[in-house]
């Protein structure tokens, strides 16, 4: 008999994937331009040209066996050195290439980190709303998922609520800013308060409580403020990074884990990361895309397109009357549903050909997520449908 839990995961695709599949069918029925698909977080802006230039150069000028061969399990040394140098220069850190582990994207960075840290009985705290796959990854690592709500007005972490969730079994707190699905970026005051709480709890329970920062949207920030790099604020921290969104490469699967050098027994934690990667069968990250990294660090896809999309949607939906959370980054807009049940609201939105994701799978009710990594022209075409959807609730 196969594993029933795995069967359940495989046979029940996520709400987001479900909607995406519905959108594909609907487009075949009524035409691509008539459906307003805001379901997936698949970057719509091409990679910066340096990506293809570097790949062509690598393919043309590098020995093929080396280019397509295994790298060391943790990733190529020169690549890791370039990442460490870039992080130190950009975020004024003193991270170390020997504590960087290359992965197949943020999903792998997260699963490896959880498996590296978790022992039976451990708990991992996440702040809702959160990326739905966290539940899958955390539970597979053997930890108990503990959910705490963010402040329902600002969507910043609610320190008092987090405090209530931390106990002797807490192994880690997972954060994600800019956030999927709200788009908010944590402010420095909240980050400092969060770190202060974790430090107090570490002292109370006599063991490290790790802060894991999931950062696939780190560069997608529109508030012109420097990114708050977590290793500068908290010693027992790990960064889970991915180039999926910054370089528009989600299908190529490339990212990394960084263990803070100030982490207690950092080298041992790093070896646990290596062991988790090994036990999960991640032999090494894709070699070609590893070798691409040094040339492309510091580049991003054209973020001005996402910013334009955000501005249009935020202003237009607010002026129609929707309650919209102002996003500082990523490419998601979080909007209050016009009825209590967001699932029903999204079903209703389909009548206006709007494909919106209900917030329930993000661990929070009553909202919808709009992925605005889409063509600006589609956003403009969709506005009359958003207005008609809004008006349909006024008529009830
Ligand atoms: N974490 C968050 C918050 C995400 O939104 C995503 C993807 O959308 C991931 C992790 C996984 O990213 P990757 O494609 O790098 O595995």
pLDDT digits (tens, 9 = 90+) for 73-129: 999 999 999 999 999 999 999 999 999 999 999 999 999 999 999 999 999 999 999
**CB 113 less than 6 A from any atom of ligand 1:** no
Side by side, the strands of the sheet bearing 367-371 are 324-325, 332-336, 367-371, 357-358
Ligand 1 touching residue 115 (CB < 6 A)? no
Is the domain of 197 the same as that of 341? Answer: no
With a 6 Å cutoff on the Cβ, whether 103 touches ligand 1 is no
Together in a domain, 223 and 318 = no
Contacts of 13 (CB under 8 A, 6+ apart): 21
What local confidence, expressed as pLDDT, does residue 282 receive? 97
- Ligand 1 centroid to residue 189 C-alpha, Å: 26
- Note the pLDDT tens digit of each residue in 307-316: 999 999 999 9
Could you tell me if 31 and 113 lie in one domain?
no
CA of 126 from ligand 1 middle (Å) equals 15
Final residue of a domain: which of 296, 312, 347?
296
- Closest ligand 1 atom to residue 179 Cα is 3
How far is Cα 158 from Cα 106, in angstroms, rounded to an integer?
25
In this structure, the answer to whether residues 38 and 88 fall within a common structural domain is no
How many percent of the chain have pLDDT more than 90?
Answer: 94
Q: Are residues 227 and 286 in the same domain?
A: yes
The answer on 291 and 198 residing in a single domain is yes
Q: What percent of the chain has pLDDT over 70?
A: 99
Span of 185-189, 224-228, 321-325 with lowest mean pLDDT: 224-228
Say whether both 94 and 242 belong to one domain: yes
Mean of the pLDDT values across residues 260-268? Answer: 98
Name the residue at shortest CA distance from atom 8 of ligand 1. 41
Is 182 close to ligand 1, i.e. is its CB under 6 Å away? no
Cα separation, 273 vs 99, in Å, equals: 10
Residues 135 and 210 in one domain: yes
Question: Mean of the pLDDT values across residues 265-278?
Answer: 98
| Domain end among 281, 296, 311 | 296
Residue 335: per-residue pLDDT: 98
Same-domain status, 127 and 251: yes
Number of Cβ atoms within 10 Å of the Cβ of 152? 10
Atom of ligand 1 nearest to the CA of 250: 14
What integer pLDDT is reported at residue 29 of this predicted model?
A: 94
Question: In a 10 Å sphere around its CB, with 0-12 CB exposed, 13-18 middle and 19+ buried, how is residue 58 labelled?
Answer: middle
CA 107 to ligand 1 centroid distance, Å? 6
Residue 276 maps to which CATH number?
3.40.640.10
Residue range 257-279: mean pLDDT, rounded: 98
Whether residue 396 is predicted with pLDDT greater than 70 in this model: the reply is no
Q: How confident is the model at residue 13 (pLDDT cuts 50, 70, 90)?
A: confident
* Alpha carbon of 145 to ligand 1 centroid (Å): 18
Backbone angles phi, psi at 234, to 5 degrees: -150, 130
Mean pLDDT score of the chain: 96
The confidence band for 68, taking pLDDT boundaries of 50, 70 and 90, is very high
Q: Is the CB–ligand 1 distance for residue 43 below 6 Å?
A: no
If asked whether residues 153 and 254 sit together in one domain, one would say yes
Q: Which atom of ligand 1 is closest in space to residue 105's alpha carbon?
A: 15
- In testing the pocket of ligand 1, which one of 40, 43, 107, 363 has its CB within 8 Å of the most ligand atoms? 107
Q: How many domains, in total, are found in the chain?
A: 2
388 Cα to the center of ligand 1, angstroms: 32
N residues, the chain: 396
User: For 334-346, what is the mean pLDDT?
Assistant: 96
176 CA → ligand 1 middle, Å: 10
Choose one of 296, 319, 350: the last residue of a domain.
296
Name the residue with tokens 């209900």. 358
Residues 87 and 163 in one domain: yes
Q: What is the CATH number of the domain that holds 17?
A: 3.90.1150.10
- For range 316-341, the mean pLDDT: 96
Does the pLDDT of residue 206 top 80, yes or no?
Answer: yes
214-254 residue pLDDT tens: 999 999 999 888 999 999 999 999 999 999 999 999 999 99
- pLDDT over 90 at 304, yes or no: yes
What pLDDT, in 10s, does the model give residues 223-232? 888 999 999 9
Same domain flag for 115 and 12: no
pLDDT beyond 90 at 31: yes
What is the domain range of residue 37? 4-47+301-394
Q: Is the pLDDT of residue 373 over 80?
A: yes
Cα 251 to ligand 1 centroid, rounded to whole Å: 11
Among 360, 37, 303, CA closest to 181: 360
Measure 183 CA to ligand 1 centroid, in angstroms: 13
């Amino acid at each position: 008999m196969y594993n029933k839990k795995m069967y359940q995961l495989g046979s029940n695709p996520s709400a987001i994937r479900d909607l995406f599949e519905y959108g594909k069918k609907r487009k075949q029925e009524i035409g691509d331009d008539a459906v307003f698909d805001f379901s997936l977080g698949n970057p719509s802006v091409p990679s910066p040209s340096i990506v293809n230039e570097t790949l062509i150069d690598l393919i043309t000028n590098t020995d093929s066996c080396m280019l397509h061969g295994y790298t060391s399990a943790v990733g190529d040394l020169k690549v890791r050195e370039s990442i460490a140098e870039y992080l130190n220069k950009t975020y004024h850190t003193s991270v170390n290439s020997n504590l960087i582990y290359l992965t197949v994207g943020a999903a792998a960075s997260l699963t490896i980190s959880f498996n590296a840290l978790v022992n039976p009985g451990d708990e991992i705290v996440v702040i809702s709303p959160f990326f739905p796959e966290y539940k899958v990854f955390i539970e597979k690592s053997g930890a108990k998922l503990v959910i705490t709500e963010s402040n329902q007005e600002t969507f910043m972490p609610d320190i008092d609520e987090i405090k209530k969730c931390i106990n002797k079994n807490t192994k880690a707190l997972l954060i994600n800013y800019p956030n999927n699905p709200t788009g908010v970026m944590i402010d420095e005051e909240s980050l400092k308060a969060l770190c202060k709480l974790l430090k107090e709890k570490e002292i109370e329970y006599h063991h490290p409580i790790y802060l894991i920062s999931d950062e696939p949207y780190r560069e997608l920030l529109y508030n012109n403020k420097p990114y708050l790099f977590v290793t500068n604020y908290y010693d027992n921290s790990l960064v889970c990074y991915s180039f999926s969104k910054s370089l528009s490469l989600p299908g190529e699967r490339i990212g990394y884990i960084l263990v803070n050098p100030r982490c207690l027994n950092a080298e041992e934690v790093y070896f646990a990361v290596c062991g988790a990667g090994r036990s999960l069968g991640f032999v090494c990250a894709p070699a070609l895309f590893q070798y691409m990294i040094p040339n492309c660090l510091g580049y991003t896809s054209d973020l001005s397109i996402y910013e334009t999309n955000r501005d249009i949607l935020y202003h237009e939906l607010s002026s129609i009357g929707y309650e919209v959370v102002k996003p500082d980054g990523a490419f998601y807009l979080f909007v209050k549903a016009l009825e209590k049940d967001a699932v029903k609201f999204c079903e209703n939105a389909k009548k206006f050909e709007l494909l919106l994701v209900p917030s329930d799978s993000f661990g929070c009710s009553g909202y919808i997520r709009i992925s605005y990594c889409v063509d600006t022209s589609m956003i403009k075409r969709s506005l009359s449908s958003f207005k008609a959807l809004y008006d349909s609730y006024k008529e009830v």
